A and B are shown apart, each in its own frame.
Chain A
């Protein structure tokens, strides 16, 4: 087990290193300058030139790369070109927001998706199943950002049930008691997490329905039914437990998809998270932020799949560590 773990961790580090290298090269090779004449005001090119040399961009790429790796090894992610602050600070501020969003979306995705999937499987081919099947199929098929834009206009602007963008109420949040603060956060979280979660829930529901149907057709479930157990216990007690197993892997895989969705949802809802930070950094050629974000994202994905494997191994004793 330990040897397996060591191997997996080493592989994980190698993957992250490879991602950093690829990102570093890509972003430096891409055309475009990180230093813009700001806000369309005429600016002395000497100012921009001095910035380039200040950040070492006038050096050969290999030299920059070696220096970057050395700084990373020291735990220094560098200073952002565009944000005028250390990259670590910017990431530390954005990451919790993305984790909140992704976490909430994941909750919606799994709770709602599981419930729908189990319900549909239990009523397979009856009206409820077909109606929900079509609804989830639709949600599964819409562009996430388009759904987000619609929800924003309908529930933010027209009905005004939810705030338009932002993480907390800028006026009242600080003066609320803690319960109020939590509610305030949830209220702001509702639309973005709902958008991301609904789309994910549709996928999960479809997956879970299939998994349940497969389990419900198996012998031990038939036996349970034959013994006269109530249908509710058959479905929830016997079948669900076994239909959950494939989920654990899905959980590990859900993360990169959530991050991709987060880029769009964060942009639509002005949510100050990692996705938006990284996307904007790519557009602005803010090299240190791009590489750091890629490192963080790939690190999390690799960690996620590692955890999923561990969970899987724990959940199913047949799968042992050799299957790495």
Chain B
């Protein structure tokens, strides 16, 4: 057809603009700019946008990533992401801490710490922060994370005392991991029920290695290094998040050298594109998400009755075995993910490839279905039993390309087995609503997990999670008991790990879900950036130490504001 004409028609109108912009860049390049060790500019391509930069009301990953450059925690988790005890934690705002007794934790703040408006950071700020996170009016999603702490008080201006309700292995983690210490003097005047949309959240003042510069919705968010930061001056002078709604656009920006870094490349096509870009280095790290096809054990929309299909354990087992998880993984992820041995991301320390699960065996699944009485007696391609068709719907959110892809593959896999699957591709708002109300047969869901399995497993897979995130209504007292024992973790680590494995194997045998993938995250960073260390639970946590050597600076590093 005439396609070439049409496409070629556009540059003529725009070539002049290009010439103009080339001139512009030449002009920029000639200007004297920043030189030396503290120049670097890092442009981060981001799919998504923070909703606020006031930590207790942030829920988005990118919002937390930005806020963590602005606000310090008392101590932070180590590279090992070990959440048990306090040995692996690194001092941050607190220079040291000690246990006064088994439920009392005392933090000594670093006297050098300053808010970026010049005020000192005090223990009063710490007490204020806990109070805010714990206040129903603030309505922080992290509130449940601090419920084991009964009080935080300031003994003097540099000493904060945490008191716990009980003793358990992850006390220290709960005390420090979610609380970003806030400036009481700037926030006290704002009514608590207005924090959600407080202006402070769009123009924050923190105590971290970076200070806030500007934020334009849908465009960019810029931070600048605080050269007086008490734990050491950050090497990168400017950090700019380039905000786009779409991962594909973000990857394209990166590949076209219009950005320096991305948190997660995602599916293998993006990996391939990034590998083809000579200026990029890839950094794989343990991913924090896992996804599964979950079967609603209760009837669709009526939690008092069992599901007509999935209420039956044997049928679920057949449906789990019917899925060739490895091949699906190969299609969607290539080598960039693994089939999880249970409900867990690669990040968790309980990840154990030895965990027993049901085999992927289509023939066996088919035999099992026949044995259960599901036969395609009239040869229309769908199995039936006592007049009931083996038919169900899979709900999947439209916004997740990967899960949509999985849904279609599953639909085809089940079709060849004689199960009729229809897809409900729904908007996330509908997905969330229906999942919570139990109005679905099966759903494709993924969880983005904290570094610890304890609360996440309890909320998604035990009786405690009914009405919360246990959308499948899976209840097994034996499993609950094992999880409780593992979480209390009185014994040694090896023993705890054994308990976890026992629990997961029990779950696998009950087959409430097909565990499909747990991606390995792969970040891409411009190769001129040196000393890139990525902490798996929060990829920019160590950004302060990344640097661009003086001899590798490029134009965008030198630009003076």
Whether A and B touch directly in their complex, counting CB atoms under 8 A apart, is answered as yes
Q: Are A108 and B447 in contact (CB under 8 A)?
A: no
Q: Are A131 and B5 in contact (CB under 8 A)?
A: yes
Q: Are B20 and A186 in contact (CB under 8 A)?
A: yes
Q: Are B24 and A283 in contact (CB under 8 A)?
A: no
Q: Which segment, of A146-154, A211-219, A237-245, A297-305, faces chain B?
A: A146-154
Known: A36-B429, A36-B432, A170-B220. A157 touches B256 (CB 8 A): yes
Distance (whole angstroms) from the CB of B439 to the closest CB of chain A: 10
Of B13, B143, B216, B243, which is in contact with the most chain A CB atoms at under 10 Å from its CB?
Answer: B13
Q: Are B556 and A39 in contact (CB under 8 A)?
A: no
Q: Are A184 and B24 in contact (CB under 8 A)?
A: yes
Chain A proximity mask over B452-486: 1 for CB below 8 Å, otherwise 0: 00011001100001011100000000000000000
Q: Are A39 and B430 in contact (CB under 8 A)?
A: no
- Residues in chain B near residue A284, CB distance under 8 A: 427-429
Report the bound CA distance from A106 to B459 in whole Å: 53
The reply to whether the CB of B57 lies closer than 8 angstroms to some CB of chain A is yes
| Chain A residue with Cβ nearest B460 | A42
Report the bound CA distance from A248 to B560 in whole Å: 47
Chain B proximity mask over A151-191: 1 for CB below 8 Å, otherwise 0: 11111110011111111101110111000100110110011
Known: A36-B428, A40-B446. A198 touches B193 (CB 8 A): no
Chain B 1-28 residues near chain A, CB threshold 8 A = 1-3, 5-7, 9-11, 13-14, 17-18, 20-21, 23-24, 27-28
The reply to whether the CB of B360 lies closer than 8 angstroms to some CB of chain A is no
Report the bound CA distance from A269 to B20 in whole Å: 21
The reply to whether the CB of A93 lies closer than 8 angstroms to some CB of chain B is yes
The reply to whether the CB of A229 lies closer than 8 angstroms to some CB of chain B is no
Chain B proximity mask over A23-61: 1 for CB below 8 Å, otherwise 0: 000000001111011111111110100110010000000
Report the bound CA distance from A131 to B257 in whole Å: 38
Q: Are A164 and B249 in contact (CB under 8 A)?
A: yes
- Residues in chain A near residue B370, CB distance under 8 A: none
Chain A proximity mask over B72-115: 1 for CB below 8 Å, otherwise 0: 00000000000000000000000000000000000000000000
Known: A94-B218, A175-B559. A108 touches B13 (CB 8 A): yes
Distance (whole angstroms) from the CB of A180 to the closest CB of chain B: 5
Distance (whole angstroms) from the CB of A17 to the closest CB of chain B: 27
Report the bound CA distance from A12 to B358 in whole Å: 65
Q: Are B244 and A165 in contact (CB under 8 A)?
A: yes
Report the bound CA distance from A170 to B450 in whole Å: 32
Contact partner of B2 (CB less than 8 A), chosen from A33, A138, A165, is: A138
Known: A32-B427, A150-B7, A187-B20. A45 touches B448 (CB 8 A): no
- Residues in chain B near residue A156, CB distance under 8 A: 252, 256
The reply to whether the CB of B163 lies closer than 8 angstroms to some CB of chain A is no
Distance (whole angstroms) from the CB of B343 to the closest CB of chain A: 12
Known: A39-B59, A84-B201, A270-B249. A190 touches B429 (CB 8 A): no
The reply to whether the CB of B255 lies closer than 8 angstroms to some CB of chain A is yes
The reply to whether the CB of B530 lies closer than 8 angstroms to some CB of chain A is no
Known: A84-B197, A170-B43. A90 touches B217 (CB 8 A): yes
Chain A 254-280 residues near chain B, CB threshold 8 A = 267, 269-272, 276-277, 280
The reply to whether the CB of A139 lies closer than 8 angstroms to some CB of chain B is yes
Chain B proximity mask over A92-124: 1 for CB below 8 Å, otherwise 0: 011000000000000010001000000000000
- Residues in chain B near residue A93, CB distance under 8 A: 216-218
Chain A proximity mask over B416-445: 1 for CB below 8 Å, otherwise 0: 000000000001111011101000000001
Distance (whole angstroms) from the CB of B134 to the closest CB of chain A: 13
Report the bound CA distance from A191 to B21 in whole Å: 14
Q: Are B469 and A37 in contact (CB under 8 A)?
A: yes
Of A85, A153, A162, A269, which is in contact with the most chain B CB atoms at under 10 Å from its CB?
Answer: A85
Q: Are A84 and B196 in contact (CB under 8 A)?
A: yes
Of A33, A40, A79, which is in contact with the most chain B CB atoms at under 10 Å from its CB?
Answer: A40
Q: Are B141 and A38 in contact (CB under 8 A)?
A: yes
| Chain B residue with Cβ nearest A182 | B20
Report the bound CA distance from A83 to B217 in whole Å: 9
The reply to whether the CB of B181 lies closer than 8 angstroms to some CB of chain A is no
The reply to whether the CB of B41 lies closer than 8 angstroms to some CB of chain A is yes
Report the bound CA distance from A10 to B246 in whole Å: 42
Of A32, A86, A164, A272, which is in contact with the most chain B CB atoms at under 10 Å from its CB?
Answer: A164
Q: Are B27 and A180 in contact (CB under 8 A)?
A: yes
- Residues in chain B near residue A37, CB distance under 8 A: 432, 436, 469
Q: Are B244 and A183 in contact (CB under 8 A)?
A: no
Known: A171-B559, A184-B24, A283-B429. A155 touches B11 (CB 8 A): yes
Q: Are A31 and B11 in contact (CB under 8 A)?
A: no
Q: Are A32 and B18 in contact (CB under 8 A)?
A: no
Q: Are A161 and B57 in contact (CB under 8 A)?
A: no
Report the bound CA distance from A277 to B24 in whole Å: 31
Q: Are A51 and B252 in contact (CB under 8 A)?
A: no
Q: Are B249 and A42 in contact (CB under 8 A)?
A: no
The reply to whether the CB of B61 lies closer than 8 angstroms to some CB of chain A is yes
The reply to whether the CB of B325 lies closer than 8 angstroms to some CB of chain A is no
Q: Are B5 and A138 in contact (CB under 8 A)?
A: yes
Report the bound CA distance from A186 to B465 in whole Å: 53
Chain B 207-238 residues near chain A, CB threshold 8 A = 216-220, 222, 238
Of A33, A54, A135, A170, which is in contact with the most chain B CB atoms at under 10 Å from its CB?
Answer: A170
The reply to whether the CB of B535 lies closer than 8 angstroms to some CB of chain A is no
Known: A90-B217, A171-B556, A172-B556. A50 touches B467 (CB 8 A): no
| Chain A residue with Cβ nearest B289 | A40
The reply to whether the CB of B242 lies closer than 8 angstroms to some CB of chain A is yes
Of A172, A198, A283, which is in contact with the most chain B CB atoms at under 10 Å from its CB?
Answer: A172
| Chain A residue with Cβ nearest B445 | A40
Task: Please give me the 9 A-B residue pairs with the lowest Cβ-Cβ distance, nearest first.
Answer: A272-B218, A38-B59, A32-B429, A42-B469, A270-B244, A32-B430, A42-B459, A33-B433, A187-B21
Can you pick out 15 interface pairs between chain A and chain B where the beta carbons lie within 8 Å of each other?
A31-B430, A36-B428, A45-B467, A54-B193, A85-B197, A131-B5, A138-B5, A155-B11, A156-B252, A171-B559, A175-B561, A187-B18, A267-B246, A272-B218, A277-B218
13 further contact pairs, Cβ within 8 A, besides A138-B3, A138-B5, A161-B18: A32-B427, A33-B432, A39-B59, A40-B445, A41-B141, A41-B449, A44-B143, A86-B197, A142-B6, A155-B14, A174-B561, A270-B245, A283-B428
Q: Mark A residues whose CB is within 8 Å of B.
A: 31-34, 36-45, 47, 50-51, 54, 79-80, 82-86, 90, 93-94, 108, 112, 131, 134-135, 138-139, 142, 150-157, 160-168, 170-172, 174-176, 180, 183-184, 186-187, 190-191, 194, 198, 267, 269-272, 276-277, 280, 283-285
